[in-house]
Amino acid sequence: MLAFRPSLLAMAVIASPAGSQGAAEPDRAPAGYVKVFADEFDGTAIDLSKWAYDTHRNAAGWYNQEKQYYAAGRPENARIENGRLIIEARSETLDKARFPDFGGQRYTSTRLFTNGKAAWTYGFYEIRAKIPCGRGTWPAIWMLLEDPKVKWPDGGEIDIMEHVGFDPTKIHQTLITRAFNYNSGVQQTKSFTLPTACTQFHRYQLLWTDKFIVTGVDDEPKFMLKNVKGGRDRWPFDQPMHLLLNIAVGGTWGGQKGIDPAAFPAKMEVDYVRVYQLPGGKK
């Protein structure tokens, strides 16, 4: 098995604070890491120099049989509010004059990503967020390969946080590769209980090096995958990847127990996104 419980060394690394820079929430990167990207969402609008709207599958329908239409530039679905990014999934009125605007879908949401704006290889990532509960919701904070020529899952996927509303107190952190993915029935994943996942903000974290990947929450490592150099089918994590933030609706996982109309509108609130790396291209 490639996956194993985080060692004491890895736990110390992910929880080693670099000190505060005066922000409301202090920087907690491992010692020696410097901030290379941040959005504190302190403005009045989403910063389109940092984020783009991912709408590429609206016409064809989204993956995993999901039921949402990802809107772009629609404040009902994505906005800055009181220093936080709000991503909101909504149930839409079936008005014949309006409904075609949403690709024939009953639900709208937003999928933001840094694709084409910022991508990184290695580093420490921290996203402070509060996620929605409600049967049928599927919020995620995750990473995909920046290179569009490499198709999934060959380029890998890092799920820093996934949650399905029918299981409200459980968080999932997963690493997907060609050898290990849900289509093959074999995954490298960790699921753990977080009783306040939907009622409080938590810091979802990733430490990615050329030797291992550790994911955790609130400075507590939960999952580790070691690079055993078994080829790109097992370890494709040596190329730039971008961040994604979204709420999906329904689908093969999020919709396993149906969709509760009363769960909407459903909001994911993001306090900040911060990325740190070692200087000089160190791994």
- Average pLDDT of the chain to the nearest whole number: 89
Quote the pLDDT of residue 3. Answer: 33
Lowest-pLDDT range, 212-216, 239-243, 277-281?
277-281
Catalytic residues: 157, 162
14 three-state secondary structure: helix
Quick check: 138 and 266 in contact, CB under 8 A?
A: no
Quote the pLDDT of residue 187. Answer: 74
Structural element, H or E, at residue 88: strand 84-91
Higher pLDDT: 273 or 95? It is: 273
CA dist 127 and 280 (Å) reads 24
Higher pLDDT: 60 or 193? It is: 193
38-53 pLDDT, tens per residue?
999 999 999 999 999 9
Where residue 99 falls among pLDDT bands split at 50, 70, 90?
Answer: low
In b/e form, how buried is each residue of 143-162, taking b as 16+ CB within 10 angstroms? bbbbeeeeeebebbbbbbbb
pLDDT higher than threshold 80 for residue 230: no
Quote the pLDDT of residue 60. Answer: 86
Quote the pLDDT of residue 4. Answer: 33
Mean pLDDT of 55-83: 95
Quote the pLDDT of residue 2. Answer: 33
In b/e form, how buried is each residue of 211-249, taking b as 16+ CB within 10 angstroms? ebbbbbbeeebbbbbeeeeeebebbbbeeebbbbbbbbb
Where residue 98 falls among pLDDT bands split at 50, 70, 90?
Answer: low
CA Rg value for the chain = 18
Quick check: 249 and 163 in contact, CB under 8 A?
A: no
